[in-house]
A and B are shown apart, each in its own frame.
Chain A
Amino acid sequence: MDNITKKLMQRSESTRKDTFGRVVSLTALILIGVVVVAIFAFVLSRGLSTFFKDGVNVKDFLFGTTWNPSVTNPATKQPYVGALPMIIGSFLVTFLAAIVATPFAIGTALFMTEIAQKRGAKIMQPIIELLVGIPSVVYGFIGLTVVVPFIRTITSGSGFGILSGTIVLFVMILPTITSMTVDTLKSVPRYYRESALAIGATRWQMIYKVILRAATPGIMTAIVFGMARAFGEALAVQMVIGNAALMPTGLTTPASTLTSVLTMGIGNTVMGSLQNDVLWTLAMILLLMSLVFNLIVRAIGRRGAMK
């Protein structure tokens, strides 16, 4: 009897194992959390010192249009650190790339899920995955040897600029948006399709009036993810955008993005100096933007879920 009581009172072998598993897996998860917090703390502490240590005005930084950190403005005794040209450049290439990529992504996704399920998936799935797998250095290389000279021959400029950046980013984010759109389309319940077809809708009417409506939150999420990727892309964009920290005046004049200025300058500046701090502030903006993109995704998800 005693033995049985003991067995019943004790935690069973299974419970112990379960606790073990829970602890192990939770540790792994927390490790990731710690890493993210560390990166945040680190970039924030560096990035904010522009404002606290070097005394740069936040407004001047965000809305100033002249970027030349090594030169001091004689009027204000502050260096020229207006980051607006890069912020606008980043948003411009991101939005343009997303605008171009979205119809292509939705079309391809529809092809894979609605029009030619079997064949479409068989041909397009590997293509999409391959596009994801192509390294960004190679994208930059192609952009430089094909896209830039092409733009140069059809327009008057040097070929470097927002337009080239957009084209390269379009191809880079296409697979991201496509594969996430495919997932959403697949999750639209089958009976939606069947009911639409049963009341006499053509395939296009079914797609347009039912499936795309039902999948809108998911597609929006996919687009935002694509934009997040475009926003953070560095090497490929840097190779084709021309890197001129000027307010963009046209699509074919050289411009710059947050990432391109960051990668170009970080090696040439001295740690702890103002020129270096402002670059970390740019990195901080990148980080905060990826946070914003995530919040947008979350908000979309919540609205979609409520319906």
Chain B
Amino acid sequence: MSKSYRGPIVCTIVAVAVAAAFGTAYAMRDKSASNTSITAVGSTALQPLVEAAGEEYAKDNLGTFINVQGGGTGTGLSQVSQGAVDIGNSDVFAEEKEGINAKKLVDHQVAVVGIAPLLNKKNGIKNLTTKQLTAVFTGKVTNWKEVGGNDQKIVIINRAAGSGTRATFEKWGLHGAQSIEAQEQDSSGMVRSIVATTPGAISYAAFGYIDNSVVAGSVNGIKPTKQNVVAGKYAIWSYEHVYTNGTPTKPVAQFLKYLTSKKIQSTLVPKLGYISIHDMKISRDVNGQVTKK
């Protein structure tokens, strides 16, 4: 008989021991550390910046924990408008996204990102007018020689439908025209390597991804550089937005202030390939209205 009780007794002892261990751990937990936790979800393009800034911020503000997730602009905006997270990262204005009630959301612009057309070196093209760019992406021209390049078939590589980069490029590079259906890639690094290795290829990516494996084409004769964006000459750029649901709470507001502080804007922002919000000599609203600062 004694043997058959051994199992239950051992089980009980183990259970009690585990419970006791957890109890002690709970009692001994670092009460000061888990004070505030800010969760940010959204754009994968903005994720590294907020993440890196969050780490720096946590170092200076012990007890604050910044939790940054990707998931895409759509996820970020819908989560923040439902109040499920504190911060929604977005590549586009909330007004531009269907299904979002933008009135509830407060926009905080934290950086500017410029987008350049990327071309394969064999295309023989260094400059395109907006008209030509539109003709290329809407399929009206199919060979580079028609726009002054080499005799090479045009291969279009798009970004994922609904992605911020594509929305910006179509709005400012193609005058709002829709690109024809073509192959889509959802990452900038991938787009660059495909363009670099495929003769005839054209795509677009943020300035940070430009390197000498591809040609970064000028648009209307204006080079895609930070100076041209800042001065308002080069039009294909967008803000990186951080949205909060209503006025941010105090810890969130503090973190947002840190994001736009001189320290972050002059170190992390350029390092990650963005343009600082403070350098901009112009500003642009959701309808594309440009005003001098």
**Residue ranges of A at the interface with B (Cβ–Cβ < 8 Å):** 66-71, 144, 149, 152, 158-160, 242-246, 254, 256, 264-276
Contacts and interface: CB of A to CB of B under 8 A. Distances in A.
B181 A275 contact: no
B79 to A, nearest CB: 8
Contacts of B190: 144
A269 B77 CA distance: 9
B78 A272 contact: yes
B36 interface: no
Interface in B54-90: 70-75, 77-78, 82
B98 A70 contact: yes
Contacts of B73: 267-268
B162 A158 contact: no
B186 A275 contact: no
Interface of B: 44, 70-75, 77-78, 82, 97-100, 155, 157-158, 160-163, 178, 181-186, 190, 194, 197-198, 201
Given A243-B183, A275-B99, A270 B44 contact: no
A243 B71 contact: no
Contact of B183 (A144, A244, A271, A274): A244
A269 B197 contact: no
17 contacts: A68-B181, A70-B98, A70-B161, A158-B194, A243-B183, A244-B158, A244-B182, A245-B181, A254-B183, A264-B186, A265-B161, A266-B75, A267-B44, A267-B71, A268-B72, A268-B74, A271-B75
A67 to B, nearest CB: 7
Contacts of B75: 266-267, 271
Contacts of A159: 198
Contact of A243 (B155, B162, B185): B185
B74 A152 contact: no
B151 to A, nearest CB: 14
Given A158-B183, A276-B99, 16 more contacts: A67-B181, A149-B197, A158-B194, A242-B183, A243-B160, A243-B183, A244-B183, A256-B184, A267-B70, A267-B71, A268-B74, A269-B162, A271-B82, A272-B78, A274-B98, A275-B98
A272 B161 CA distance: 17
Nearest to A277: B99
A158 B78 contact: no
Contacts of A242: 183-184
Contacts of A160: 183, 194
Q: Which of A158, A159, A242, A256 has the most CB of B within 10 A?
A: A158
Nearest to A269: B74
Contacts of B74: 266-271, 275-276
A276 B78 CA distance: 11
Nearest to A270: B99
Contact of A68 (B72, B178, B185): B178
A149 B193 CA distance: 11
Nearest to A243: B184
